[in-house]
Amino acid sequence: MHDLKFASAWFNFTHVVNPSELRSECLLGITETFNRNMKRAHTMVTSIPWFVGRMQLHIRSLMLAKMVIQKDRIDVFDANVSEEEWPKITKFSSHVIKKFNEDDADLMDRTWQLYSVGSAQFNAAITNADLGDVDKFAESLLLVMILNSWSAFEILATDLWIAAVNFGDESFAANVGGLSRKDSKSFTYAQIHPHIDNLRNRLGTLLVEAERVKMDCFRQIKENYKLAFGKVLEELFELHKGNPANILVLESLRNLLMHRGEVVDSDFETQVKEASGCTIPYLLSLKEGDIFLVDGHIAGTLTYSVLQFGSKLIRIMDEIITPDDAWNLSSRNPANIAGDWVI
């Protein structure tokens, strides 16, 4: 089995931003969406070990029941059960153990009651499964967790950028105004019409909808934040820091899963090497042609990086969009905004 153990201590949910703490109303919905996405990931992190363990118990108990019915010798090793796991199996399969020496035609029906803890669909799904299937099931959940974590970051980064350009200082809109002439193409009437009544507060939305601004990769996100908000935000994305480096690797991993079937290519190898602050040595060690093997530590670490980085980005954008009376963007030290948050 892959390493499916997650330490809840390092997936500390206090990093999630409480919307009531924000000053910028335009960020409330964005923050709530991000929190929901992260809570789904958190639920997966904490439930996979329990769920997989439960499936293992069900399957091994079913193996035991079949041996009982066939009047085969019950043997710990024949059942592929370790000494440590055996007490759990015997307790879980107590009904089967009691019936071991009885010739009971209803044994399988009674044994099936042992599995009624879960839904009928769950029980039916594992009836013909084996422990290898559980391993594959766990892998699938972890891969989905990785894909969803990148989507959560991409959505958050896009929504925050739009909100800051729409409702932040006018200099932000001026900074990105040149993007309206990107590729010497004019906006169509259909693109402008939904925003024409309040173009000042819809410029960010228009630029993204018209694809003058794209946020589908880490580098583009970094460049767009730098263009709109200057060095204050540029320093957050430096790749010698743990969280941004892990998110760049997360993007690379997402592309690997979606387009390369988990086979490492030269693009993945090159991009991961650029992420000098990556905190997962295994990913840094992969070479072209290797097969990526997921485990709980990888999925949990990458998801936690999205949680930390995203929450910090929300707080910084809140300060930028709705500064206090003493705010002076040109003189504010970026280091004071970013803080010491490297994991």
Q: Is the pLDDT of residue 61 over 50?
A: yes
Q: What is the pLDDT of residue 218?
A: 93
Mean pLDDT of 108-112: 45
Per-residue pLDDT of 326-336, as tens digits, reads: 334 333 333 33
Q: How many helices (H) and strands (E) does the chain have?
A: 16, 0
Domain-located, residue 100: no
Residues 80 and 69: beta-carbon distance below 8 Å: no
pLDDT exceeds 70 at position 322: yes
How high is the pLDDT of residue 13? Answer: 55
- Give the three-state DSSP class for 291: strand
- The reply to whether 273 falls in a domain is yes
Q: What is the pLDDT of residue 248?
A: 94
Given a cut of 90, whether residue 66 has pLDDT beyond it is no
- Report if residue 229 sits inside a domain: yes
pTM of the model: 0.70
Q: Looking at residue 152, what is its pLDDT? A: 92
Q: Is residue 157 part of a domain?
A: yes
- Domain-located, residue 93: no
Using alpha carbons, select from 120, 121, 123 the residue that is nearest to residue 65. 123
Pairwise CA distance, residues 290 & 293, whole Å? 9
Give the DSSP H/E element, type plus range, for residue 159: helix 131-167
Residue 230 counted as domain residue: yes
pLDDT tier at 180, thresholds 50, 70, 90: low
| Strands, E assignment, 174-293 | none
Domain membership of residue 236 (yes or no) is: yes
The number of C-alpha atoms within 13 Å of 292 and in the hemisphere containing its C-beta is 29
Question: What's the average model confidence in pLDDT over 109-132?
Answer: 48
**Contacts for 171 with CB less than 8 Å, ≥ 6 apart:** 329
CA distance 189 to 202: 15
Per-residue pLDDT at 170 exceeds 90: no
Range of the domain at 178: 139-338
User: Could you give the C-alpha distances from 321 to 25, 168, 169, in angstroms and in order?
Assistant: 10, 4, 7
Torsion-angle region of residue 183: left (phi > 0), alpha (psi -120 to 50) or beta?
left
Q: What is the pLDDT of residue 213?
A: 85
User: What is the model's pLDDT at position 188?
Assistant: 60
Residues 6+ apart with CB under 8 A from 232: 316, 320, 329, 332, 334, 337
What's the structural domain count of the chain? 1
Looking at every residue in the chain, the average pLDDT score rounds to 71
- For residue 35, is pLDDT > 80? yes
Separation between Cα atoms, residue 96 and residue 90, nearest integer Å: 9
Average of per-residue pLDDT across 199-203? 71
Task: Give the residue-averaged pLDDT of 296-304.
Answer: 86
Q: Is residue 74 part of a domain?
A: no
Is 155 in a helix, a strand, or coil? helix
Tokens of 42: 């958190």
Query: Percent of the chain, pLDDT > 90?
Result: 22
User: Residue range 88-116: average pLDDT?
Assistant: 45
- Decide if pLDDT at 134 tops 90: no
Q: In this predicted model, what pLDDT tens digit does every residue of 212-222 receive, in sequence order?
A: 888 989 999 99
State what percent of residues in the chain have pLDDT above 70. Answer: 56
The winner for highest mean pLDDT among 122-126, 137-141, 147-151, 227-231 is: 147-151
pLDDT of the residue at 119: 39
